[in-house]
Amino acid sequence: MQQLKHRSDYTEDLRTERQWRKAGKLVRDGAAGMLLWPNRLHQRAFTYYRTDEVRDATPEELYAAGAPERKRRKRARIRREEQRKKEEEMWKVKQRKIKIWQAQKQEKEKKQQEVNALIQGALELKASVNNPTGIVCIDIETTGLTEIDEIVEISIIDGKGSILVHSLVHPYWMNSWEDVEAIHGISPEQVKDAPYLHELIPRIYAALSSASTCIGYNLYSALSFLPASLSENLSFDTIDVMQEFAPIYGEWSDYYEDYKWQSLSTCAAYYGCTFLEYDSLEDARVTLFCYRQMQNRS
């Protein structure tokens, strides 16, 4: 393949079709031109024409010849404007979310002391559950994953799959969670008449304290949403099925230098189980199923 030369290698008057058109000339029919680099830094080559390959043109001819370029430029302007509007709207949405998050954080700071008192009082109330298995499996749905987010659904089952706790939860300060709602489908309207977390604490504490082993998928994330005053009174072994499944699935991450964590749906499919995701009770049951399968196969 012949190596292209640069425009600067030639002293004669060489111009592109567009440059000649600006000078009032058009390229003659059948003119071959030369494909050249415009300079030694450019990344794209252009076809250049000599003076004997062009002719004088009328204004009408020049206008007609420039029509395709004008259309391209118009389309490019429209695309840029559409992109600008899209980015502007994305920025506005982001700013709205930031304002909502800031307002919710302020609301949390105002209510936190009151909520802590309610939870502390709830821990003094007694509830009982029947759990002869010594195992619990927990799953939650939340308003998000930040420091201000809250539980909107919680499910705890025993080692045989019997329900110990299953309830929607009314948040204390969060009043909208559109992004996460689109995933798990739990809306503010659905939880408006649900019990607050402190109203469920006696049964949650009874369920968790009935076990010597607590299982979950991304378990430590779920436990982190429980009040610290509750968690510090619990004592059990923990098994995070997500972390246990990672080396079994065997997808390596060079970045983390460890096996990648997989979704619950991937884990369930691996063990031949199909289910409805983003329902805490269903997730808890599937997590328990996968745990049992891992035990059987090991």
Assess whether pLDDT exceeds 70 at residue 158.
yes
Q: 138-154, pLDDT tens digit by residue?
A: 999 999 988 899 999 99
Where do the domains of the chain lie? 7-65, 119-297
Share of the chain above pLDDT 70, in %: 99
Cβ atoms of 219 and 245 within 8 Å: the answer is no
CATH: 2.60.40.10, 3.90.1150.10, 3.40.640.10, 3.30.420.10. Which one for 119-297? 3.30.420.10
Task: Tell me the average pLDDT of the chain.
Answer: 92
Share of the chain above pLDDT 90, in %: 73
What pLDDT is stored for residue 278 in this prediction?
A: 73
Residue 43 or residue 170, greater confidence: 170
Q: 60-110, pLDDT tens digit by residue?
A: 999 999 999 999 999 999 999 999 999 999 999 889 888 888 888 888 888
Average pLDDT, integer, range 286-292:
96
Average pLDDT, integer, range 124-140:
94
Q: 186-199, pLDDT tens digit by residue?
A: 999 999 999 999 99
Q: 96-117, pLDDT tens digit by residue?
A: 888 888 888 888 888 888 999 9
Is-above-0.85 flag for pTM? no
